[in-house]
Amino acid sequence: MERIREYSWCCGAGGGLKSAFPDVAIWSAGERIAEAKETGAGALVTACPWCEMNLRDAIESQGSAISCHDVVELIHQAI
């Protein structure tokens, strides 16, 4: 993704943004989803439950085929 490491971008759920400005939060998550799609990714993985919730909300609102998973969920599946 274009915005990585020190240039990464919040999914939109952090700092109470989703509570105060839900439309902005969904828009921000939508931008991250678009960046992931540009790489050819079929899934997003996060360790943050707020990111997971917001990204899934944005995926649902867009009707996107990309999926979102918690990293612990993937570890559990691998065991």
Dist. CA 43–CA 56, nearest whole Å: 11
Among the listed residues 35, 36, 38, the one whose alpha carbon sits nearest the alpha carbon of residue 69:
36
Tens of pLDDT, residue by residue over 38-65, are: 999 999 999 999 999 999 999 999 999 9
How many independent structural domains does the chain possess? 1
- The answer to the question of residue 55 being in a domain is yes
The amino acid present at 22, given as its one-letter code, is: P
- The answer to the question of residue 25 being in a domain is yes
- The answer to the question of residue 5 being in a domain is no
- The answer to the question of residue 2 being in a domain is no
Decide if pLDDT at 9 tops 90: no
pTM above 0.75? yes
Q: How confident is the model at residue 32 (pLDDT cuts 50, 70, 90)?
A: very high
- The answer to the question of residue 8 being in a domain is no
- The answer to the question of residue 1 being in a domain is no
Which tokens belong to 26? 């969904």
State the residue range of the domain holding 52: 16-78
Residue carrying structure tokens 């799609």? 37
Among the listed residues 41, 47, 5, 10, the one whose alpha carbon sits nearest the alpha carbon of residue 27:
10
